[in-house]
């Protein structure tokens, strides 16, 4: 195997040291080592490489000199050292130049990076200020919105009872509209059945409503009762008189406790030419005892001659007469009724009349009841089929 020459060994030593120095320098560039430390280490490695090359050259030269003659040793040694020294100096100058260029480049990059870092830092600082300003503005708006929401909530809380009241009033108005339409419809039907001889008295209010009057008219048309008895008098007496007159042989007897209303009802009957069909009887309210209680009801002397009642309309006495004032109508008049009698209790939407209806149904098991959803409510009683 051929031995390497002195030059190749020296060059290898120098090149290796330069490579190691450059590697160390790169570590400084990437911030693994401090740049100043990296440069010092690189220079030290380069110097070690040079010294190693010198030692190698010297050892090789000593071996060669032993094979040469003594006379040529000094001359050869001097020539080789001069050549190596010259080459090493040239390489060192190149290396120093490269190191200066690297340092200058690194210096420029660091300056540029520092400048850009300052710009970036300044920009970030500005962004942070703007973000902080926006956040503060947003926080203020959220606070204002929260206050507005609280005020709105308070306003809604105050408005809620009014809305609830308005809803109740709207439902009442809606029901009133529906009831009004049904009453108008019933009134049109009633007016189509008769040809009045004078202005007809008003219905509703204190008087019976058109829907219950239409029910009475239907009963007359279907059942043809001979005797119609009315507890109370007024507008309904005139309407019933026309229905009875149209029916032929039927007649109406109305019981009235108040003398003032007695004369008003009689005047209405005479004005419509119904005196031969309708009789308004004076029947003052007097105590009546029955079913374990005392009631104010019509004087029973006014009903002694009444028999075979086919239609009974209970619309009195008024509730001012006392509690459950209409209860005696059933025990006193039912025995005077026909088997197929129809009994109509008006104003059953009121609690008192509804309770009276329940009492009747419990006391007379042969009766059956139907509930009509009329303006004032009505309960209709008939006998059960046997």
Q: What is the pLDDT of residues 193-246, one digit of tens each?
A: 899 999 999 998 888 999 999 999 999 999 999 999 999 999 999 999 999 998
Choice between 27 and 211, residue whose per-residue pLDDT is larger: 211
Shared domain check, 119 and 214? no
Domain around 87: 6-127
Residue 176 lies in a domain: no
| Residue 77 Cα distances to 3, 50, 226, angstroms | 19, 18, 168
Residues 13 and 119 in one domain: yes
- 180 in a structural domain: no
Domain end: 76, 101, 127, which one? 127
Q: What are 59-74's pLDDT values in tens digits?
A: 554 555 455 445 545 5
pLDDT at position 69, please? 43
**Per-residue pLDDT tens for 314-355?**
999 998 888 999 999 999 999 999 999 999 999 999 999 999
For residue 100, the model assigns a pLDDT of 64
Domain-terminating residue out of 83, 108, 127: 127
Please provide the size of the chain in residues.
Answer: 386
**Boundary residue ending a domain (104, 127, 150):** 127
Q: Is 147 a member of any domain? A: no
Tally of domains within the chain: 2
Kind of pairing, strands 251-256 and 309-314? Answer: unpaired
Residue 278 lies in a domain: yes
Global pTM reads: 0.58
Q: Give me the CATH number covering residue 272.
A: 3.40.50.150
Examine the domain organization and report whether 245 and 115 are in the same domain: no
Give the burial string for 73-95 (b: 16+ CB within 10 Å, else e): eeeebeebeeebeeebeebeeeb
- 224 and 96 within one domain: no
Q: Is 78 a domain residue?
A: yes
Is there a single domain that holds both residue 11 and residue 119?
yes
Average pLDDT, the chain: 80
Whether 215 and 344 have beta carbons less than 8 Å apart is answered as yes
Per the listing, tokens 């030593």 go with 13
Q: Do 235 and 378 share a domain, yes or no?
A: yes
Tokens of residue 199, six digits: 């202005």
Residue 369 lies in a domain: yes
C-alpha to C-alpha distances, 170 to 108, 177, 299, 328, 357, nearest whole angstrom: 86, 10, 45, 39, 31
Helix-helix angle 210-223:235-247, to 10 degrees: 20
Q: Assess whether 322 and 201 both reside in one domain.
A: yes
Can you say how many angstroms the Cα of residue 294 is from the centroid of all Cα atoms in its chain?
A: 56
Assigned domain for 145 exists: no
317-328 pLDDT tens trace: 998 888 999 999
First-residue to last-residue Cα distance in the chain = 145
**Cα-based angle 370, 309, 314 (whole degrees, multiple of 5):** 50
pLDDT of residue 122: 60
- Is residue 175 assigned to a domain? no
Give the confidence band of 124 by pLDDT, cuts at 50, 70, 90: very low
> What gap in Å lies between CA 61 and CA 78, rounded to an integer?
10
**Whether 266 and 351 share a structural domain:** yes
Q: DSSP H helical segments within the chain, as ranges?
A: 6-29, 35-67, 70-193, 210-223, 235-247, 259-271, 329-333, 351-363
């Amino acid at each position: 195997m051929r031995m390497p020459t002195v030059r190749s060994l020296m060059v290898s030593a120098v090149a290796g040291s330069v490579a190691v120095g450059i590697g160390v320098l790169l570590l400084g560039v990437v911030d693994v080592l401090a740049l100043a430390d990296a440069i010092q280490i690189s220079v030290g490695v380069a110097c070690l490489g040079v010294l190693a090359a010198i030692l190698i050259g010297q050892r090789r030269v000593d071996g060669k000199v032993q094979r040469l003659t003594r006379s040529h040793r000094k001359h050869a040694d001097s020539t080789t050292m001069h050549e190596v020294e010259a080459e090493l100096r040239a390489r060192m100058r190149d290396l120093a130049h490269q190191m200066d260029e690297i340092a200058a480049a690194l210096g420029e990059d660091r300056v540029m990076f520092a400048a850009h870092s300052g710009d970036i830092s300044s920009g970030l600082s500005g962004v942070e200020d703007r973000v902080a300003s926006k956040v503060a503005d947003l926080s203020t708006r959220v606070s204002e919105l929260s206050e507005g929401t609280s005020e709105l909530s308070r306003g809604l809380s105050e408005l809620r009872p009014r809305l609830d009241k308005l809803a109740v009033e709207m439902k009442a108005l809606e029901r009133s509209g529906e009831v009004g339409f049904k009453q108008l419809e019933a009134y049109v039907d009633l007016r189509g059945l008769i040809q009045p001889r004078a202005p007809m008295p008003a219905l509703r209010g204190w008087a019976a409503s058109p829907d219950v009057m239409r029910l009475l008219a239907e009963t007359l048309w279907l059942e043809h009762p001979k005797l119609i008895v009315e507890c109370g008098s007024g507008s309904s007496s005139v309407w019933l008189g026309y229905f009875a007159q149209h029916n032929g042989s039927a007649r109406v007897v109305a019981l009235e406790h108040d003398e003032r209303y007695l004369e008003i009802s009689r005047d209405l009957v005479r004005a419509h030419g119904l005196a031969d069909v309708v009789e308004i009887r004076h029947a003052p309210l007097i105590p009546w005892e029955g079913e374990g209680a005392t009631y104010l009801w019509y004087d029973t002397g006014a009903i002694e001659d009444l028999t075979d009642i086919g239609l009974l309309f209970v619309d009195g006495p008024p509730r001012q007469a006392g509690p459950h004032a209409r209860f005696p109508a059933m025990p006193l008049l039912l025995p005077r009724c026909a088997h197929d009698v129809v009994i109509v209790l008006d104003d059953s939407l009121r609690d008192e009349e509804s309770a009276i209806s329940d009492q009747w149904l419990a006391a007379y098991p042969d009766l059956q009841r139907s509930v009509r959803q009329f303006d004032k409510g009505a309960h209709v009683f008939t006998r059960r089929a046997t």
